[in-house]
């Protein structure tokens, strides 16, 4: 890149930084990001308490803690641009079982990742430092998407809500056995998918496994019940 072109680009960035409309738009986006993060943290924490399995509950609480860590940075940047923190009314959805909650959380992470990409583009010219921070948050969100997708894939769509789960010893043993079996089954399926060169995109492959598991589940129920009847 020539020196003249470099100077022109640098001067445009300086001018953009002093354009009220550009800063107002960036401030609006930061407030949107702040509200989204507050809402996401509340949703992850509420859904964590509805998880049937403890490892899913712990995973959601960890993701909530990582999302919570973004909030002080957003608060600081909003104040730096002369803004005030927006009011946030969080009303997380509390219906559904573990699988349905995880599906909602995955959709939330996907939507946030898309929004953060647009907000980062707005910040790039006027505030490169803020753009870099938003980019880091988006990278974290993308990691959360991968983790939530994996949790969803290994979750049973017919799992009862934690508040309604039966606590009989036999039911607990059955759930633990099914969870272990499904984990081993998915690991084997994933190994074959990877060995085959991942010809099907991951999202499509994960959906196919969920459909296959719904047909596999009745056979495993029978396998669990057979020793009891014998």
Rounded to two decimals, the pTM is 0.62
**In contact, 117 and 137? CB cutoff 8 Å:** no
Q: What is the DSSP string of the chain?
A: --HHHHHHHHHHHHHHHT-HHHHHHHHHHHHHHHHHHHHHHHHHHHHHTT-SSHHHHHHHHHHHHHHHTTHHHHHHHHHHTT--PPP--------S-HHHHHHHHHHHHHHHHHHHHHHHHHHHHH-HHHHHHHHHHHHHHHHHHHHHHHHHHTS-TTPPPGGG----HHHHHHHHHHHHHHHHHHHHHHHHHHHTT--S-HHHHHHHHHHHHHHHHHHHHHHHHHHHH-
Tens of pLDDT along the chain (230 residues) come to 455 555 444 544 554 444 545 788 899 999 999 999 999 999 998 898 888 888 888 999 999 999 999 999 999 999 999 988 888 765 555 567 888 889 899 999 999 999 999 999 889 887 899 999 999 999 999 999 999 988 888 777 766 665 544 445 666 777 777 778 888 888 888 888 888 888 777 767 776 776 676 666 656 665 665 554 44
The structure tokens 């999202």 sit at 203
Dist CA 16 CA 126 (whole Å): 5
Closest CA to 99 of 213, 200, 185: 213
Looking at residue 166, what is its pLDDT? Answer: 43
Q: All domains of the chain, ordered by start, with CATH?
A: 3-153 (1.20.1260.10), 166-229 (no CATH)
Looking at residue 97, what is its pLDDT? Answer: 82
Looking at residue 224, what is its pLDDT? Answer: 63
């Amino acid at each position: 890149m020539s020196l003249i072109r470099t100077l022109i680009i640098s001067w445009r960035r300086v001018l953009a930084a002093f354009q009220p409309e550009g800063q107002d738009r960036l401030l609006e986006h930061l407030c949107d990001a702040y509200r989204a993060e507050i809402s996401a943290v509340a949703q992850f924490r509420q859904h964590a308490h509805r998880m049937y399995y403890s490892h899913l509950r712990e995973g959601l609480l960890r993701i909530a803690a990582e999302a919570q860590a973004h909030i002080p940075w957003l608060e600081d940047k909003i104040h730096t641009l002369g803004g005030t923190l927006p009011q946030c009314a969080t009303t997380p959805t509390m219906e559904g079982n573990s699988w349905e909650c995880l599906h909602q959380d995955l959709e939330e992470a996907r939507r946030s990742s898309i929004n953060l990409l647009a907000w980062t583009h707005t910040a790039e010219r006027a505030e490169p430092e803020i753009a870099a921070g938003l980019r880091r948050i988006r990278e974290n969100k993308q990691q959360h998407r991968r983790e939530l997708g994996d949790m969803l894939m290994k979750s049973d769509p017919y799992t009862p809500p934690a508040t309604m789960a039966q606590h009989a010893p036999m039911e607990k043993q059955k759930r633990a056995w099914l969870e272990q079996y499904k984990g081993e089954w998915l690991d084997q399926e994933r190994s074959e998918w990877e060995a085959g060169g991942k010809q099907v995109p991951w999202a499509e492959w994960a959906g196919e496994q969920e459909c296959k598991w719904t047909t596999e589940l009745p056979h495993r129920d029978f396998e669990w019940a057979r020793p009891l009847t014998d």
